Structure 1
Amino acid sequence: MKRTILSVFIMTTLVMISCTSNADKKSKEVNDSNEQQSEIKRQAINPDNDWGAGFEMNQAEIISGFSEIIKFSGQTSLVPDTSAEMGLGVKYPGDQRKQMEFILNSIDNLLEQAGMERKNIIHVNFYTTEMEGFLENYDVYSNWIKMANIRPTQSAIGVNQLVSPEMKLEIEVTGAR
């Protein structure tokens, strides 16, 4: 298990280093390609009562007008920690609200590196070890996504444990442009 955590962290770090070191060079390429691409089109599909509106989500969406998809690995609150056994620690151990804020900030940073924005998100998966706490803190996500004026499809999945027992939340995102 510890080797798996370290392997995932090393791969993620290498990808982030690669993205960061090539950011300046690719920045112009991304900006040039963004100018040539049209906006994605979304058609919301919801039941008559549209209960998902209260959660900033559509039950389904027809997405068109895109040429690229970005798939995120599960984003967590793991951070380098030289004092930890595997060199990784959990930021805000046990605090689901702070972990969600931290993860959403990480998602913003990765979207920016990819030349995308929140409005490019088309699906979100939440994995939580504590569904009640997740729902109590859902306003953090709701306010965050509301700024993009979109309602991407989403799933909230309760799990027994994530990579670390102190971790309460993992978020996967899919985006398109």
Structure 2
Amino acid sequence: MEKRIINPWQWQDQRSYVQAVEVSQPAGTLYCSGQTAIDAAGQSSTADMRTQLLLTLQNLEQVINQAGYEPRNIVRLNVYTTSTEELMACFDVFQNWVAQHGMQQATTLLEVKSLFETLTIEVEATVVR
């Protein structure tokens, strides 16, 4: 796989994403369903945003790793939240996770009216190798 990052500006660097990612010659592409803070027994979390974000990212990593891919090769993240204000208060969790994996991904953040049951955050990813 060859990956090229397109950033006409520099301001997005402080927000842990890039404007565009071009991928050529991928050996495979993994499209992940939205992952949330649901435990292994299928129970939706009732915890605060920070705790839900940590479990959501852990669940996303588990799906990616089980498929034989690596989080560092995420090229697209869509983030859905019921409160951008609450998410921004714990955005360091997201930024640390991105930095930990050396990711450079295109990201879209959307505030939505609601998610399944008691969930406050959902993250879907596209991963290549």
Report Cα offsets for 1:37-79 as digits up to 9, x if no partner.
xxx322111123x111011111111112312110111101123
Q: Does the alignment pair 1:42 with 2:3?
A: yes
The whole-number CA distance in structure 2 between the counterparts of 1:146 and 1:79 is 25
**Shift of residue 174, structure 1, vs aligned partner:** 0.7
The whole-number CA distance in structure 2 between the counterparts of 1:136 and 1:53 is 18
Amino acid at match of 1:106: N
Amino acid at match of 1:76: T
**Shift of residue 150, structure 1, vs aligned partner:** 2.2
User: TM-score, length-normalised on structure 1?
Assistant: 0.68
Unpaired runs of 5+ residues, structure 2, are none
Which residue is equivalent to 1:3?
none
**Shift of residue 90, structure 1, vs aligned partner:** 1.9
Amino acid at match of 2:48: D
Please say if residues 72 and 174 of structure 1, whose CA atoms lie closer than 8 Å, have aligned partners that are also in contact.
yes
Number of aligned residue pairs: give it: 129
**Shift of residue 134, structure 1, vs aligned partner:** 1.0
Q: Does the alignment pair 1:105 with 2:58?
A: yes
Structure with higher helix content = 1
Segments of 4+ moved more than 6 angstroms: none
The whole-number CA distance in structure 2 between the counterparts of 1:176 and 1:80 is 26
Which residue is equivalent to 1:90?
44
Please say if residues 17 and 106 of structure 2, whose CA atoms lie closer than 8 Å, have aligned partners that are also in contact.
yes
Unpaired runs of 5+ residues, structure 1, are 1-39, 82-87
- SS at the partner of 1:147? helix
Which residue is equivalent to 2:97?
144
Please say if residues 38 and 56 of structure 2, whose CA atoms lie closer than 8 Å, have aligned partners that are also in contact.
no
Please say if residues 94 and 168 of structure 1, whose CA atoms lie closer than 8 Å, have aligned partners that are also in contact.
no
Q: Does the alignment pair 1:68 with 2:28?
A: yes
The whole-number CA distance in structure 2 between the counterparts of 1:56 and 1:74 is 20
Instruction: With a CA cutoff of 8 Å and minimum separation of 6, indicate the structure with the bigger relative contact order.
Output: 2
Task: Select which of 97, 115, 122 maps to 1:162.
Answer: 115
Q: Over aligned residues, Cα RMSD in angstroms?
A: 1.5
Quick check: 57-66 or 120-129, which moved more? 57-66
